[in-house]
Structure 1
């Protein structure tokens, strides 16, 4: 049985997946790529065995999953690829509408937390593609852009106010923010424990290879982007790929805010593969 592995279709996971997809680390994964929202649904439906997923997906359905230890995707400050792009200063967004990317769950929840806990504003939301809206001449009051789209739109001349949600979270809590984690289906674990343990180890080896060869990763990523090698290096330096004590604390603080806001029913315990 080939392990069904979910891959976020963004540059930020290149350090983890390049050594796996290029054969540097041998594997027989069946890789399924997509935005976080798609992978969340596939994991919830039991169609993937192990996958990158939004940290809020674990909070919503923790009983279905184990966390993979020592691997995550987040930031300890500016993340650069989760941005609120606005035509107005953030304090002037009260009562206005924010276009939120349909590809995100965690970032949308983080935006809601920051609005209530950090900026003390209330806004309306619409769901859609920022790139599509802008190409069609629409100019929303503000845009929540994530991933490669955020990197491409971050200097849009009609959106002079750029709020980095990773940096805003750090200002609010002093903690890292974990946008994505790697999850294992508990049902799959019961049936294929050894193969999934091996898959988790290979993901961690991928992370270790990627972070040790970051200059090569940055050059590869820049070839597929409008960013220079220097800009790409700055981007990757701001990312967190570990899931240590501070990162776990940041996750639990986020979950507490989500519960207080009614976005999740309870704060889950962080339970890792046995």
Structure 2
């Protein structure tokens, strides 16, 4: 006897399909994950495979010396960053304070990438750092990952031109789009916290592990931080609810993770509706 399809399940599947189309999905993934734990096939001629070199013992004489000079070099700039950030009482003043800070990133970047969107929206999104497209235009999230981000949030009724505000931890593009260093993140964190205090959002969304771990002061990765609400105590503002989610650049590399990102967006939408 055939069992009629569940209308609720059918509607959920159609909604998920519509979301994938809205996010720009253009290929189907495999039904089942590949088993990458199985050993690879052995080459027919084992002699042609070079033997792996024996690991070199690491003793006290071969350990790299701590980079104390690099840390010390950042100390004056970090102190000045705190003073500059604390003295900013508006978004324009904060932008000028960031531009006044001496940072090696300024020497390799083209433009300061400050923010985009509606500061009064109540929803603030914070990413990692500008990329090449952002560096050219001076705006955050305008490249390929930015277009995906726009489609993602538009699927829950959030648009940067209407009801969202976007920025990054770093205002300057790191050379070669590399991951920001801890010293660079610590240098610009006072500006980010002051940025939040000036904008006074009712909800914060951290895009990716770099922003989430830096501002939440957590050792956990983004896969453990996402999917639940956190609280960030912002000087001059107080606690603000925070949702961490996957960065759109990661979703471009791992399309199968869009399911988790969609769950985060639904969680955000429910909280926005209650507010």
State the TM bucket, normalised to the shorter chain. Answer: under 0.3
Structure showing greater radius of gyration is: 2
Q: TM-score, normalised by structure 2?
A: 0.25
- Specify which structure has the bigger relative contact order, considering alpha-carbon pairs within 8 angstroms and separated by 6 or more residues: 1
Q: TM-score, normalised by structure 1?
A: 0.25
Indicate the structure with greater strand content: 1
